[in-house]
C-alpha cells in the first residue's frame, strides 16, 4: 500500500498543492513523518493544539471515557456527565451572560447556530459582518465571510447580509434596528491577525446595545489562551451576547461550541421545538477531552506565559525583509513584500523541519501559532530556523 498515492487517488483534495506530510505520529510540539523526519509544529494544526499534540492528561481523559460509552443519543436528550461538567466549567471561567453552552462538532457549525440564534431571539433578519472576515465554509458561515474570492462560485448565499469595515468607526452605522446579529472575529485571523482597538470594540458593543442587535464574537482561532487571555474579548473590556469557539477547545478532538445567556439560548427550545439539533455535537469523548484541555490550560498557567513567549518569537523574527509583524499573544502574522516570497519561505521552513503556514485571505503573510506550552528551547530553535529561511530566500530574491 502506498499511502501517498492513495491520498491523491481516493481522498478529495482541498487544493492542488497540499503539504502532503505522511504523518506517523505526533507528540508535544512535534509531528513525525513515516520516514522518521521531525517537524516542529509552529501553527498547532491551525490554532487547534494549544496544549500540544497528545497531552498526557487529555489522552488519559479520552481513554477513560472510551471505556464508559461513546455516542448514545443526539445532543440534548440524555444527561451525559462529560457534557454537564464541561458546560459548568465553561460557565465558571466566562463572565455573566455567557452561562449556557451548546456543544457542536466544529467552528462553522458554531457560527451557523449562532446566526440562527440571533435571528430566532430577535425576530429580525439582517446580519452584519466585516470585510476580510472568515467564519467557515458552510453556506451560512460563508455568507457572513468577507472574502468574495472564496464565495462567488457558491452563490446564491444568505440574503440580507451586510458588511462593514473592521476597526472603522463610521462602519458601525451599518448596524440598525433591523439587525438581528453582528458577527465579528475578536481578532481577525485569516485576514492576517488584524487586532482592533479597544475603543472600536467598545463602540461596537454600545451600538449593539442601542439597536438591540446581538453581538456574536467568533473566537474559533483566538480562544482558549491563544491571545494571552483565556478569551480574546477580555482584552477589550466587553462581553458578547453569543460567543462561538472551536478549534482548541478539546485538545485535538473535533468540537465546537456557542455560548450565551439562559434567556437567549432558551429560544431555540420552542417555537419550534428542536430549533437547533445535532446528532454528534457534545460527543462524550470530545467533551472529556474538552474538560482535560481546560484543566491543562489553567493548571499549567499557559495564559500567563503566552505573552512573554510571543514577544520572544516576535523579537527573533525582525529580519530586514519583514514588512510587518502583527501579534497578539502567540498569534502572529509575518508580512513580506509578496505572496511568492511567502510561499518560498514557508517551503524552506518545511525543508528544515519547521511548519509555518499561509493565510487564505492574506497571502503576503504567513502565520505562526505554536502550542502555548512550547519550551523556550523549541521556541528559540524554531525562531532561528525561520529567520535563517527568511535570510536565504529574501537574499536570493533581491
Percent of the chain exceeding pLDDT 90 equals 92
Whether the pLDDT of residue 7 is over 90: the answer is: no
DSSP state of 312: H
Largest CA distance in the chain: 64
Q: How confident is the model at residue 397 (pLDDT cuts 50, 70, 90)?
A: very low
Report the relative pairing of strands 357-358 and 354-355 from DSSP bridges: unpaired
CB 330 within 8 A of CB 369: yes
Q: Tell me the C-alpha distance between 389 and 317, whole Å.
A: 11
What confidence score (pLDDT) does residue 396 get? 56
Q: Provide the CATH number for the domain formed by 57-299 in this structure.
A: 3.40.640.10
Mean pLDDT, the chain, rounded, equals: 96
CB 176 within 8 A of CB 109: no
Whether the pLDDT of residue 101 is over 80: the answer is: yes
Rg (CA), the chain: 21
CB 160 within 8 A of CB 101: no
Lowest mean per-residue pLDDT among 7-16, 99-108, 328-337, 341-350: 7-16
Burial (CB count within 10 angstroms: exposed 0-12, middle 13-18, buried 19+), residue 256: buried
What confidence score (pLDDT) does residue 249 get? 98
Cα separation values, 74 from 169, 286, 332, Å: 43, 14, 38
Q: Where in the chain is the domain with CATH 3.90.1150.10?
A: 3-54+301-397
CATH architecture under which domain 3-54+301-397 falls: Alpha-Beta Complex (3.90)
Whether the pLDDT of residue 364 is over 70: the answer is: yes
Whether the pLDDT of residue 384 is over 60: the answer is: yes
Q: Tell me the C-alpha distance between 361 and 336, whole Å.
A: 14
Q: Where in the chain is the domain with CATH 3.40.640.10?
A: 57-299
Give the mean model confidence (pLDDT) for residues 35-56: 97
What confidence score (pLDDT) does residue 5 get? 86
**Of 4 and 55, which is predicted with more confidence?**
55
Q: How confident is the model at residue 30 (pLDDT cuts 50, 70, 90)?
A: very high
* DSSP H/E element including 385: helix 376-397
pLDDT by residue (tens digit) across 103-138?
A: 999 999 999 999 999 999 999 999 999 999 999 999
Percent of the chain exceeding pLDDT 70 equals 99
∠ CA 53-217-204, rounded to 5°:
145
Amino acid at each position: 500500500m502506498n499511502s501517498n498515492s492513495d491520498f491523491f487517488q481516493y481522498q478529495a483534495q482541498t487544493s492542488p498543492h497540499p503539504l502532503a506530510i505522511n504523518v506517523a505520529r505526533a507528540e508535544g510540539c512535534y509531528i513525525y513523518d513515516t520516514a522518521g523526519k521531525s517537524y516542529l509544529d509552529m501553527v498547532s494544526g491551525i490554532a487547534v493544539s494549544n496544549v500540544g499534540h497528545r497531552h498526557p492528561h487529555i489522552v488519559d481523559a479520552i481513554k477513560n471515557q472510551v471505556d464508559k460509552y461513546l455516542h448514545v443519543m443526539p445532543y440534548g436528550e440524555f444527561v451525559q456527565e462529560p457534557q454537564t461538567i464541561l458546560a459548568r466549567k465553561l460557565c465558571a471561567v466566562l463572565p455573566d451572560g455567557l452561562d449556557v453552552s451548546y456543544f457542536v462538532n466544529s467552528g462553522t457549525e458554531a457560527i451557523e447556530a449562532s446566526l440562527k440564534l440571533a435571528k430566532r431571539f430577535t425576530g429580525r433578519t439582517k446580519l452584519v459582518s466585516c470585510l476580510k472576515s472568515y467564519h467557515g465554509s458552510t453556506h451560512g458561515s460563508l455568507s457572513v465571510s468577507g472574502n468574495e474570492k472564496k464565495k462567488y462560485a457558491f452563490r446564491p448565499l444568505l440574503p440580507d447580509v451586510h458588511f462593514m469595515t473592521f476597526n472603522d468607526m463610521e462602519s458601525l452605522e451599518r448596524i440598525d434596528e433591523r439587525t438581528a446579529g453582528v458577527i465579528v472575529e475578536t481578532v481577525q485571523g485569516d485576514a492576517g491577525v488584524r487586532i482592533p482597538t479597544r475603543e472600536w470594540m467598545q463602540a461596537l458593543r454600545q451600538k449593539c446595545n442601542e439597536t438591540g442587535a446581538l453581538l456574536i464574537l467568533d473566537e474559533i482561532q483566538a480562544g482558549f489562551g491563544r491571545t494571552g487571555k483565556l478569551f480574546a474579548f477580555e482584552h477589550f473590556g466587553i462581553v458578547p451576547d453569543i460567543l462561538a469557539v472551536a478549534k482548541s477547545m478539546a485538545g485535538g478532538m473535533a468540537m465546537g461550541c456557542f455560548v450565551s445567556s439562559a434567556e437567549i439560548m432558551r429560544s431555540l427550545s420552542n417555537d419550534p421545538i428542536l430549533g437547533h439539533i445535532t446528532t454528534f455535537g457534545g460527543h462524550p469523548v470530545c467533551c472529556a477531552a474538552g474538560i482535560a484541555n481546560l484543566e491543562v490550560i489553567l493548571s499549567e498557567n499557559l495564559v500567563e506565559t503566552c505573552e512573554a513567549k510571543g514577544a520572544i518569537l516576535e523579537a527573533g523574527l525582525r529580519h530586514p525583509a519583514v514588512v510587518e509583524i502583527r501579534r497578539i499573544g502567540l498569534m502572529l502574522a509575518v508580512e513580506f513584500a509578496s505572496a511568492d516570497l511567502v510561499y518560498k519561505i514557508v517551503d524552506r521552513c518545511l525543508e528544515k523541519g519547521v511548519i509555518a503556514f499561509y493565510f487564505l485571505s492574506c497571502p503576503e503573510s504567513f502565520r505562526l501559532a505554536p502550542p502555548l506550552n512550547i519550551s523556550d528551547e523549541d521556541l528559540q530553535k524554531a525562531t532561528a530556523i525561520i529567520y535563517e529561511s527568511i535570510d536565504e530566500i529574501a537574499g536570493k530574491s533581491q
